[in-house]
Homo-oligomer: A and B are copies of this chain.
Amino acid sequence: MSNPPKSVSEKRARRVKLSDVASASGVHYSTVSRVLRPGFKGRISDDVAERVRAVASELGYQPNAVASSLRTQSTRSIGLIVHDMNDPVYPPILSGIESVMSPDGYAVLVGNTGYGVDAELDLVNRMASRLVDGIFLATTRLKDPAVERCEQLGIPLVSVLRQTASGHTPAVMNDCFWGMEALTTHIIESGHRDIAVIIAPQDLSTAQERWQGVQAAMNKHGLSVPKHRLAHVDRMSMDEGERATKALLAAAPVSPEVIICVNDLIAVGAIRACRDRGLRVPTDISISGYNDIPLMDMIDPPLSTVHIHLRQIGKAAGEMMLEYLSNPDLPAQTKRVKPELVLRGSLRDLKR
C-alpha cells in the first residue's frame, strides 16, 4: 500500500525567469522584458536598463523561447524535410540554409522521409504542430500533398532542388535539364551511339528534367533510347544502381557503350556492377553520373558528372525563405542555378 519514497531526484535546475530578474532589480517584469527584448528601443531610461541588464546577466537569465513563441506566434524555427540525410546531396544544402538562417536566430528541425510520401505528409503535420515558421521541402513531388497541406495551413514553403508541376511553389532548383542535356551532348559528340540510361521515378522534377535532358540531346542527334537500354531505380543508393545496372546488362546480349546515370550514387553502383560482370570502365563501357558529390574525383575511375552548387542553392533557399517570412504575400518565384559539366575519366572518347 505505501508508496516507495520518491527518490531524491535532482530536479531540472529551476530556470530564472523574467519575474526573478524583475524582483531582483526592483522593477516590474514587463520592464525587464522591454529592456531585454532585442530590437526594443527607447521608452526605458538608461540607468534602469543598465541595472536590469546587469542583474539579468548576473542571474544568468535566458529567455524561455517556448513562452515567447506562444505569445508571439513565432517559433523562429524552420523545418527541413529530406529523403535521407545519408544522401550526400543534403548536408551541403543544410549548411547553406543554416548559414543564412542561423544568424537570424532560426533553428533547423530536420526530418527524413525515407522516401515515403506518407512520412512526408506526417512530417509536415508534426512540424506544423510545432509551429515552425516555415518549411524547406527537398522531397517535392510534381504533385505533392505535402505542398498542398502547407498552402492550406498557410505555412511558408520553399522547395529545394525540386519543383511542383504547376511551378507555383517558391523554389530554388538546379537546372537539371540544361545539365543533363549538356552532358548527353558531350557523350554523343564523343562518338557514343549505343546509350543506356538509368532513370529515377518521374514524379520528381529533378528526375524528370534529367531524363528530358537526355532525350532532348539524343533527339537533336536523331537518336533515341530503346526500351532495353532503359532502367529504373526507386531511390538514390549504390545498391539500387548496382541492381539496375545488372538488369540493364542482362536485358541484351551486347552491353551498351555508355550508361548515363541519373545520379552519382547510382553511377558508383553501376561501376561496381560492371566490374562484377568483368567489364572495365571506361575501356569496355563508359559511365556518367550527376551531382558531383564529394570523392567523385577520387574513385576509380574518376567520375564524369555534372557539378551542382548545392551549398549555394541552400543559401539561396534560405534567403528566399527570409523574404517570404518578412513578406508572405510575395508571389511565388523559382530560381534556377546553372550547374557545370565536370569531365573526368569514366567517359571514354570513342572518336580517338
* A interface list, Cβ under 8 A from B: 3-13, 15, 62-67, 69-70, 73, 75, 77, 84-86, 88, 90-92, 94-95, 98, 105, 107-112, 125-131, 152-155, 166, 168, 238, 268, 271-272, 294-295, 298-301, 328-329, 331-332
In the complex, what residues of B have CB within 8 A of residue A7's CB?
329
Closest to A107 in B: B109
Whether A65 lies near B153 (C-beta < 8 A) is no
Nearest 3 CB-CB pairs, A to B? A300-B300, A13-B154, A12-B154
**Residue in contact with A91 in the complex, picked from B85, B153, B331, CB distance below 8 Å:** B85
* Minimum distance in angstroms from A238 CB to a CB of chain B: 8
Q: Which residues of B contact A328 (CB under 8 A)?
A: 9-12
Specify which of B66, B109, B111, B271 is in contact with A69 (CB 8 Å cutoff).
B66
Beyond the given A77-B109, A271-B298, A300-B300, please list 14 additional residue pairs across the A-B interface where CB-CB is below 8 A: A6-B331, A10-B154, A10-B329, A11-B154, A15-B153, A65-B129, A65-B131, A66-B66, A66-B69, A77-B130, A86-B91, A88-B294, A109-B109, A295-B295
Are B70 and A95 closer than 8 Å at their CB atoms? no
Q: In the assembly, what is the distance between CA of A137 and CA of B216, in Å?
A: 49
- Give complex CA distance A75, B70 in Å: 13
Report whether B331 and A3 are in contact in the complex, using a CB–CB cutoff of 8 Å.
yes
B66 touches A268 (CB 8 A): no
The answer for the CA separation of A85 and B152 in the assembled complex, in Å, is 32
- Please, how many angstroms separate the alpha-carbon atoms of A12 and B155 in the complex? 7
Q: Are A65 and B95 in contact (CB under 8 A)?
A: no
A111 to chain B, nearest CB (A): 7
Contact A13 B91 (CB under 8 A): no
Nearest B residue (CB) for A311: B86
Q: Which residue of chain B has the shortest Cβ distance to A133 in the bound complex?
A: B12
- For A62, what are the chain B residues with a Cβ–Cβ distance below 8 Å? 125, 128-129
Shortest distance between the CB of A260 and any CB in chain B (Å): 19
Q: Which residues of B contact A153 (CB under 8 A)?
A: 12-13, 15
Tell me the nearest residue of chain B to A169, going by C-beta: B4
Chain B residues within 8 Å of A155, by CB: 12
Residues of B within 8 A of A75 (CB): 66
Q: Which residues of B contact A238 (CB under 8 A)?
A: 294
In the docked arrangement, what's the CA distance between A63 and B70, Å? 13
For the complex, give the distance between the alpha carbons of A131 and B208 in Å. 42
A95 touches B112 (CB 8 A): yes
A-B contact pairs, 20 of them (CB 8 A): A9-B329, A12-B154, A12-B155, A12-B328, A13-B152, A13-B153, A13-B154, A62-B129, A66-B70, A67-B70, A90-B91, A91-B91, A94-B110, A98-B112, A105-B126, A107-B126, A109-B109, A268-B298, A272-B298, A295-B298
Q: How far is the CA of A51 from the CA of B95 in the complex (A)?
A: 47
Q: Which residues of B contact A11 (CB under 8 A)?
A: 154, 328
Q: Answer whether A129 and B64 are a contact pair too, CB < 8 Å, given A109-B107, A112-B95, A154-B11.
A: yes
